[in-house]
Amino acid sequence: STVLSSSRGALIVLEGCDHSGKTTQCKKLVSALNEASIKAEFYRFPGKYIYINDLDSYHRGTRTTAIGEMISGYLGRQQDIEDHAVHLLFSANRWELKPKMLRSLEDGTNLIVDRYAYSGVAFTAAKEGFDIDWCKQPDIGLPQPDAVFYLHLNPEVAAKRATFGGERYEQTDFQSRVSKNFDNLQDSHWTIVDADKTVEELHEDLLERVKDVINNIGNKPIGKLWT
């Protein structure tokens, strides 16, 4: 037959240490792609926040799923959840959004995702008594990102940007264990990007890389994470 299929969407993840600018950059990427008439949507894990008006207030926004709500209560310290159980909730939150993500990708929409299973593993494995292999298990088989851009900031620069709030995990010693875990999760899909530049410079850099991924995606099958 002579059916011409247009390319699927690309699954692009931004990871990185806190204050590296992931959320800002994800949103700028989606806007820039949409302005160039390239279909793109913003996702973030955990949940999908509703932004009230600006970046400063996003923590007060709600996450849109029941599981996202539970995680939100946990991060805001309104609720304690056992460490293994909350790890599984973060993972369940990705699985519950998987059908929607796949539909968008198959429909040609590119997804720009703020954190993914790598954050899931890096944060839980920074806790006492957890190892990386155990932490990876529940996320095995999720849609494989076509590219992961890891925004790198050296700890001194990150510390200068830091205005750690009261959310769980926002302590420097914990963050440094998280960043070591990220180092162990790097694979062939990762590109480390220097985040120590202005918002605009970093945006231009990322936009070029993201367009490159999108232009080369064709219809290659969507892989399964960690298989």
Number of neighbours of residue 47 by Cβ within 10 angstroms: 24
Q: Which region among 77-85, 115-123, 130-138, 196-204 touches ligand FDM (by CB under 6 A)?
A: 115-123
User: Which of residues 25 and 119 has its CB atom nearest to ligand FDM in the complex?
Assistant: 119
Residue 119 interacts with ligand FDM (CB under 6 A): yes or no = yes
> What DSSP string runs through the chain?
-----PPPPPEEEEEESTTS-HHHHHHHHHHHHHHTT--EEEEESSS-BPPSSSGGGGGGSPBSSHHHHHHHHHHTTSS---HHHHHHHHHHHHHHHHHHHHHHHHTT-EEEEES-HHHHHHHHTTSTT--HHHHHGGGTTSBPPSEEEEEE--HHHHHHH----SSTT-SHHHHHHHHHHHHHH--TTEEEEE--S-HHHHHHHHHHHHHHHHHT-TTPPP-BTT-
Residue 136 interacts with ligand FDM (CB under 6 A): yes or no = no
Among 21, 38, 70, 90, binds ligand FDM (CB under 6 A): 90
110 forms bridges with which residues in the sheet?
Answer: 40
Number of residues interacting with ligand FDM: please give it, by CB under 6 A.
9
Residue 164 interacts with ligand FDM (CB under 6 A): yes or no = no
Among 9, 16, 120, 143, binds ligand FDM (CB under 6 A): 120
Among 33, 40, 75, 142, binds ligand FDM (CB under 6 A): 75
Query: Is 130:83 a contact under the CB 8 Å cutoff?
Result: yes
Residue 143 interacts with ligand FDM (CB under 6 A): yes or no = no
User: Which of residues 178 and 213 has its CB atom nearest to ligand FDM in the complex?
Assistant: 178
Q: How far is the CB of 120 from ligand FDM (least distance, A)?
A: 3
Q: How far is the CB of 83 from ligand FDM (least distance, A)?
A: 10
User: Which of residues 100 and 220 has its CB atom nearest to ligand FDM in the complex?
Assistant: 100
Among 52, 80, 169, 212, binds ligand FDM (CB under 6 A): 169
User: Which residues sit at the interface with ligand FDM, rule CB under 6 A?
Assistant: 45-46, 75, 90, 115, 119-120, 123, 169
